């Protein structure tokens, strides 16, 4: 080690050699666009917590329903147009296994004895944000909660 390097280390109060950086797997080193957009979508969704529910609602000022919330967030956070009812949205996108869910993916439930009658945005840690008409506000729930676990149907992604 050169004298200049030793002096520089001494000025910092330590003579320990630098620690080698941790190795990062190649796949993790180049985070896919899906992760970046998914995180943006999840963060934007969190900003809508406690927004009022309104059937057919497509903006937070008037109130949101589940599909209106998804359309609103995807358009503003990622520039992706997602339109229609929860069932319409379920027919779009690419299927994702529940074990491969990432923030920004959509999760679908049968909540009214109709396939794909409810949609939410996965935010990580087995949680999703949605606009349920029950309790009347945008909120976070867990996919594993009994009510949702029994009604979970599928997941889709519009990312990557």
User: DSSP labels for 73-138?
Assistant: HIIIII-----S-HHHHHTSSEE--GGG--TT-EEEE--SSSTT-EEEEEEETTEEEE--STTSB-
User: Cα angle vertex 35, ends 32, 38, to 5°?
Assistant: 140
Neighbouring C-beta atoms of residue 16, cutoff 10 Å:
7
Residue 24 CA to chain centroid, in angstroms?
23
Write out the catalytic residue numbers.
66, 118, 130
The span from the CA of 129 to the CA of 141, in Å, is 6
């Amino acid at each position: 080690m050169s004298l200049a390097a030793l002096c520089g280390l001494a000025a910092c109060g330590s003579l320990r050699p630098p620690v080698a950086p941790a190795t990062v797997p190649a796949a993790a080193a180049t985070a896919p666009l899906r992760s970046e957009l998914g995180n943006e979508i999840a963060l934007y969704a969190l900003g809508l917590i406690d927004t009022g529910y309104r059937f057919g609602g497509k903006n937070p000022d008037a109130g949101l329903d589940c599909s209106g919330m998804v359309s609103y967030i995807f358009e503003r956070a990622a520039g992706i147009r997602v339109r229609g009812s929860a069932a319409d949205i379920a027919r779009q996108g690419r299927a994702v296994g529940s074990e491969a869910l990432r923030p920004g993916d959509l999760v679908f439930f049968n909540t009214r004895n109709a396939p794909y009658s409810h949609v939410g945005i996965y935010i990580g840690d087995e949680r999703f944000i949605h606009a349920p008409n029950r309790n009347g506000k945008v909120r976070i729930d867990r996919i594993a909660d009994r009510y949702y676990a029994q009604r979970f149907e599928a997941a889709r992604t519009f990312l990557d």
